Amino acid sequence: MSAGPTASESVRPVSIAIVGAGPGGFYTAAAVLKSGVEAEIDIIDALPTPFGLIRGGVAPDHQSTKGVWRAFARTAEQPQVRYYGNIKVGRDLSVAELRERYDAVVLATGMPLDRKLAIPGADLAGVYGAAAFVGWYNGHPDFRDLDPDLNTPAVCVIGNGNVAIDVTRVLVKTPAEMAASDLADHAAQAIHAAPIRDVYIIGRRGPAQAKFTNKELGEMGELEDCAALVDPAQLPAAVAGEMSDRDRRQREKNLATLRAFPSAPEPAKHKRVHFVFFAQPAAISGAARCEGLRLERTRLEDDRAVGTGETFEIPCGVVVFAVGYRMDSLDGVPSAGRAGTFESRDGRVADGLYVVGWAKRGPSGVIGTNKGDGDLAAEQIRSDITQGREAGTQGRKAGRAALESLLTERQLRWVSFADWQRIDAAEAAAAPEGAPRRKLVRIADMLAVLDRDAGTVTNT
């Protein structure tokens, strides 16, 4: 007969640590709360500020998309949930240390690093990955000091996904168009002072294969001082090939949107976005810094881009790669696959260890796609805990109390959700007219808000 839980174990809630306070982490926490499992849920994040890509990735002029933070905040305010910001797993404590202390550990660490292409010149000054570039304009502390040199009339953005289109749009919108955004101050100053006139957005395949969502593509045709240009010769008459009706409709909508873009510059507009299709990056030229992007013309074979050997060059002082992301590894957690996701059986990594979001699936889908991962992880935790308890192999671990003693022993300062709300209030109070906030972009400045308010350091 298995040893069942003792009376004290059966009343102690299941302890769950979620690493990463982005959409994957918050959807998991919400799903656990909904599942009826009596749990204590601790969400740990490297930054003092929660919400992951909602704060640091979603474009600053897409405030309605960012609105999902309100639902996440309601989750964070539930009595079962605590936020431990400013604690980096992998630096301040290890996954193994969390697993010793929690019944379940969920990795929701996303894909924070850039995938750059290994072409000649990719390491030149003036060449950036989108994770760094987007992080920089969104005020992510890790990228505050990127200081991209935007003193150039032309920029090339490589990739035909929504990240490429976000980067392009933020570079060409006017200050008035960005007034209601939370573009970080340092980035607004640099972008709006830059002499950028032409941004080239480059797809290795054709317009029908581009991954832009139609709403984002359509926005390019509605810019105040920038014309979106496309060569009509690159637009096919119809979408060819086998695909689902949904895919065909999406591709047709994008083609229709592109057809409505002009092919020649509009004299009234000072800036231009050029859609360049069927071109794959071959090299970045320049002596000390980026001076141009060499591209090879492609043609499609079974929907794949195949080089033709014909090359051409676009002179530009900046290249941004928006071709996908990479994961940050964590000691003791194996990764696999082309995108380097954590190895798992549909989210189960090992006993009591789970993965959700981009770290599980790779960098695809929209914010809401993470909800399914959270629901599944909550169900897996519920069923594993129940089975473990029945088999007598699963003890209830001390969780939060053990985490706090470890952090205290290591003299690590954590930021609670109430602390974050004070940082949030300070940012909102400093907002320029019409903007939601003025972002604090250095961790020391965020912590200084708490010290100034409290007079002392508080950790609760």
Rank residues 15 and 209 by Cβ distance to ligand NAP and give the closer one: 209
Q: What CA–CA distance (Å, rounded) separates 146 from 137?
A: 10
Q: What CA–CA distance (Å, rounded) separates 346 from 441?
A: 36
211 binds ligand NAP per the rule CB under 6 A: yes
Report the half-sphere exposure of 236 (CA within 13 A, side-chain side): 18
363 binds ligand NAP per the rule CB under 6 A: yes
User: With CB under 6 A as the contact rule, which of the stretches 136-144, 210-218, 374-382, 436-444 interacts with ligand NAP?
Assistant: 210-218
Q: What CA–CA distance (Å, rounded) separates 451 from 48?
A: 14
Instruction: Give the x/- contact pattern for ligand NAP in 377-416, rule: CB under 6 A.
Output: ----------------------------------------
Rank residues 216 and 384 by Cβ distance to ligand NAP and give the closer one: 216
254 binds ligand NAP per the rule CB under 6 A: no
C-beta of 331: minimal distance to ligand NAP in Å?
26
- Tell which one of 166, 182, 419, 424 touches ligand NAP (CB under 6 A): 166
Say how many C-beta atoms besides its own lie within 10 A of residue 321's C-beta: 27
> How far is the CA of 129 from the CAs of 55, 113, 132, 324, in angstroms?
18, 8, 6, 9
Q: What CA–CA distance (Å, rounded) separates 438 from 428?
A: 6
Site for ligand NAP in 145-164 (CB under 6 A): 158-164
257 binds ligand NAP per the rule CB under 6 A: no
Residue (of 6, 10, 13, 8) closest to 102 by Cα position: 13
Rank residues 319 and 447 by Cβ distance to ligand NAP and give the closer one: 319
Q: Are strands 353-355 and 348-350 parallel, antiparallel or unpaired?
A: antiparallel
Joined together, the tokens standing for residue 71 give 């639902």
- Tell which one of 105, 322, 435, 446 touches ligand NAP (CB under 6 A): 322
Total chain residues near ligand NAP (CB under 6 A): 26
Site for ligand NAP in 100-119 (CB under 6 A): 117
Report the half-sphere exposure of 426 (CA within 13 A, side-chain side): 19
Residue nearest to ligand NAP (CB): 161
Q: What CA–CA distance (Å, rounded) separates 179 from 124?
A: 33
| Contact (CB, 8 A) for 362 and 339 | yes
Rank residues 250 and 380 by Cβ distance to ligand NAP and give the closer one: 250
284 binds ligand NAP per the rule CB under 6 A: no
Interface ranges with ligand NAP (CB under 6 A): 117, 158-164, 166, 203-205, 209, 211, 213, 216, 280-281, 305, 322-324, 363-366
